[in-house]
C-alpha cells in the first residue's frame, strides 16, 4: 500500500521502504560511530599517529570485497535477499560486540583490530550487493534511482550524527563503548527486515543456478562499454580517492592538532556535503552519465582545496565539497548500473561495482597512508585529487564515444 508523497521523497510511499529506512538509519548511525572509533583507536591508542596502520586496517576491511567477488554476486542473484540480509546484518552486529568487549577489557591489540576488520569486511562483502539490489524489491524500478539516493541520504545523515557521537563517547568513556553501541544498533535493521510485508516485495527474476555464473557476469560487462567506463572511474576514485579515514584523521591530528571531538566534528561536517549530494541525486528522475563527469571533476577540485587548506575551518568547508561530489558520483554509478542491467544479472554487476569501488582499497589505502606518513597529509589528499581528475578524463572519453545514457 502506498501513500501520496511527491518529489524527492517519493519512495516513502511504500510501506516496506518506510520500515526499511527507519531501521537502516539507526544502524547507519552505529556504523559511523564504529568507523570513527576504529580509526581513532588505531591512530592514537594502538600506534603513535601511524597512518600506514590505518591504511592497513582499511585494506583488510575492504579486501574481501574483491577476494569474495565470485561468491557475493552469486549469492545476490540466487538467494532470497531478505533472508541473506538478516544473516549478514546479524553477523556484523556480533563482530562489533566482540571487538567492543575486547576493547573494554583492555586487551585489544592492533592485530585484533586487523582480524575483526577482515571478518567484518567478509560479512559486508556479502551484504553490500544484496543491500543495493534489495532496493529494487522494496520500491520497484520506477522509484529505484530515488530510493538509492534516499538510502545515501540516510547513510550520510547518520554520518552527521555518528562521528560526533563517537567523539563524545570516546572522550567520556573510551572507544569500547562506541563498538558496543554499533553492535546494538543492528537490532533496529533486523527488526525492520522482520516486519516487512513480504507479499508486497517487487521480486525480481532469479538467475539459473549453473556453473560459470561469475564468468557470465564478466562476459556481460565486457560487452558493455558504458559499464566498463563506469567501473574504471569507480576503480580510480574508490582506490585512491575514497580514503576519508586517512585524509580526515591525519589532517585532524597531525596538521590541525585536534582532539577526538575535533576529529569527530570534521567527519560530521563532511556529512553536510554528502547529504546535500544525496538529496540532489534524489531530485533527479533519471541518472545521467554527464553527472559522473561533474561529480568526479568537482571531487578532484575539493581534494585540491582540502590539501592547501590554511586552517581547520577552511579544511572543513572543503570536506563539504568533497562529500557532495562523492555522493553525486557514487549514487549515479549505482543507479546507472542497476537500471541499465538485466534484472537476472544485477547482483553480479553490483557485486562487481562494490568489488571495484572498495576492493581497490587494499591497494590504495596503504599507498595513501604511506604518502601521508612520508610526505605529509596534504600530499595524500593530492593523490585523491589526481584520482578525481583522472576519472573525469575517462568520462570525457566515454561521452565522446557516445556512451549510452
Please give the pLDDT value at position 212. 54
Shared domain check, 242 and 191: no
Banded pLDDT at 205 (limits 50, 70, 90): low
Grade residue 150 by pLDDT with cuts at 50, 70 and 90. confident
Give the H or E element holding residue 342: none
Task: Residue 189: give the domain boundaries.
Answer: 9-200
Grade residue 326 by pLDDT with cuts at 50, 70 and 90. Answer: very high
Task: Please name the residues in contact with 176: beta carbons below 8 A apart, sequence gap of 6 or more.
Answer: 100, 101, 102, 103, 104, 105, 108
For the segment 368-373, the average pLDDT, to the nearest whole number, is 92
Q: How far is CA 95 from CA 34, 76, 159, 182, 209, in A?
A: 11, 22, 21, 10, 31
Assess whether 190 and 87 both reside in one domain: yes
253 with 297, same domain: the answer is: yes
Whether residues 331 and 234 share a domain: the answer is yes
Query: Which segment, 139-143, 202-206, 221-225, 401-405, is predicted with the most confidence on average?
Result: 221-225
Does 195 lie in the same domain as 220? no
Same domain, 221 and 82: no
88-113 tens-digit pLDDT: 999 999 999 999 999 999 999 999 99
Say yes or no: 17 and 166 in one domain. yes
- Final residue belonging to a domain, choices 168, 200, 232: 200
Whether residue 100 lies inside any domain: the answer is yes
- The pLDDT value recorded for residue 6 is 53
Nearest to 15 by CA among 137, 196, 144: 196
**Do 187 and 219 belong together in one domain?**
no
In a domain, 4, yes or no: no
| In-domain check, residue 158 | yes
Instruction: For residue 3, tell me if it sits in a domain.
Output: no
Please identify, among 147, 174, 200, the residue that sits at the C-terminal boundary of a domain. Answer: 200
Whether pLDDT at 403 is above 70: no
Give the pLDDT of residue 274: 81
Residue 208 lies in a domain: no
Among 200, 229, 261, the domain-final residue is 200
Supply the pLDDT for residue 115: 96
Whether 205 is covered by a domain: the verdict is no
Q: Give the pLDDT confidence score for residue 4 in this predicted structure.
A: 47
- 125-142: burial string, b at 16+ Cβ within 10 Å, e else: bbbbbbbbbbbbbbbeee
Alpha carbon 254 to its chain's center = 25
Beta-ladder partners of 2: 14
- Among 39-53, 66-80, 317-331, the range with the most confident prediction by mean pLDDT is 317-331
CB 34 within 8 Å of CB 179: yes
Query: What is the band of 299 on the pLDDT scale with cuts at 50, 70, 90?
Result: very high
pLDDT at 157: 81
pLDDT at 3 over 70: no
Distance between first and last Cα of the chain: 32
Task: Clarify whether residues 307 and 330 are in a common domain.
Answer: yes
Q: Does residue 207 fall inside a structural domain?
A: no
CATH number of the domain at 75, please: 1.20.1250.20
The single residue listed with the C-alpha cell 565539497 is 321
Lowest mean pLDDT across 45-49, 122-126, 260-264: 260-264
Percentage of residues in the chain having pLDDT higher than 70: 94
Q: For residue 345, give the DSSP letter.
A: G
Same domain, 70 and 38: yes
Under 8 Å between Cβ of 152 and 135: no
Looking at the structure of the chain, the number of domains it has is 2
Helix (H, G, I), strand (E, B) or coil at 14: strand
pLDDT band, residue 148 (cuts 50/70/90): confident
Residues 179 and 254 in one domain: no
Q: Do 219 and 164 fall into the same domain?
A: no
Q: Is residue 2 part of a domain?
A: no
Q: State residue 286's pLDDT score.
A: 73
| Mean pLDDT of all residues in 254-261 | 86
Is 129 a residue whose pLDDT tops 90? no
Amino acid at each position: 500500500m502506498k501513500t501520496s508523497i511527491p518529489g524527492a521523497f517519493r519512495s516513502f510511499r511504500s510501506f516496506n521502504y518506510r520500515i526499511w529506512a527507519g531501521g537502516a538509519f539507526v544502524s547507519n548511525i552505529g556504523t559511523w560511530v564504529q568507523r570513527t572509533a576504529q580509526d581513532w583507536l588505531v591512530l592514537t591508542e594502538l600506534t603513535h599517529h601511524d597512518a600506514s596502520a590505518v591504511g592497513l586496517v582499511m585494506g583488510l576491511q575492504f579486501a574481501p570485497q574483491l577476494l569474495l567477488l565470485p561468491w557475493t554476486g552469486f549469492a545476490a542473484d540466487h538467494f532470497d535477499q531478505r533472508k541473506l540480509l538478516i544473516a549478514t546484518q546479524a553477523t556484523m552486529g556480533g563482530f562489533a560486540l566482540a571487538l567492543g568487549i575486547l576493547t573494554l577489557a583492555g586487551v585489544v591489540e592492533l592485530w585484533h583490530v586487523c582480524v575483526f576488520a577482515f571478518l567484518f569486511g567478509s560479512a559486508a562483502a556479502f551484504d553490500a550487493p544484496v543491500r543495493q539490489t534489495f532496493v529494487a524489491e522494496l520500491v520497484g524500478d520506477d522509484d529505484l534511482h530515488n530510493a538509492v539516493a534516499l538510502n545515501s541520504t540516510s547513510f550520510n545523515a547518520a554520518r552527521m550524527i555518528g562521528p560526533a557521537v563517537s567523539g563524545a563517547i570516546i572522550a567520556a568513556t573510551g572507544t569500547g563503548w562506541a563498538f558496543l553501541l554499533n553492535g546494538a544498533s543492528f537490532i533496529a535493521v533486523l527488526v525492520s527486515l522482520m516486519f516487512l510485508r513480504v507479499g508486497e516485495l517487487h521480486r525480481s527474476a532469479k538467475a539459473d543456478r549453473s556453473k560459470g555464473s561469475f564468468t557470465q557476469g564478466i562476459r556481460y560487462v565486457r560487452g558493455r562499454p558504458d559499464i566498463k567506463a563506469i567501473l574504471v572511474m569507480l576503480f580510480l576514485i574508490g582506490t585512491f580517492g575514497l580514503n576519508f579515514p586517512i585524509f580526515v584523521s591525519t589532517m585532524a591530528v597531525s596538521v590541525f592538532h585536534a582532539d577526538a571531538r575535533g576529529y569527530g566534528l570534521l567527519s560530521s561536517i563532511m556529512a553536510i556535503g554528502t547529504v546535500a549530494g544525496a538529496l540532489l541525486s534524489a531530485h533527479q528522475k533519471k541518472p545521467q552519465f554527464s553527472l559522473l563527469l561533474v561529480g568526479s571533476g568537482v571531487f578532484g577540485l575539493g581534494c585540491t582545496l582540502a590539501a592547501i587548506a590554511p586552517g581547520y575551518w577552511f579544511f572543513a568547508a572543503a570536506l563539504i565539497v568533497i562529500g557532495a561530489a562523492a555522493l553525486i558520483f557514487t549514487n549515479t554509478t549505482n543507479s546507472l548500473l542497476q537500471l541499465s542491467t538485466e534484472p537476472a544479472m544485477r547482483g553480479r554487476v553490483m557485486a562487481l561495482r562494490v568489488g571495484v569501488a572498495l576492493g581497490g582499497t587494499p591497494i590504495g589505502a596503504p599507498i595513501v597512508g604511506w604518502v601521508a606518513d612520508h610526505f605529509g597529509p596534504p600530499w595524500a589528499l593530492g593523490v585523491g585529487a589526481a584520482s578525481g581528475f583522472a576519472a573525469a578524463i575517462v568520462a570525457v572519453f566515454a561521452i565522446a564515444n557516445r556512451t549510452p545514457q
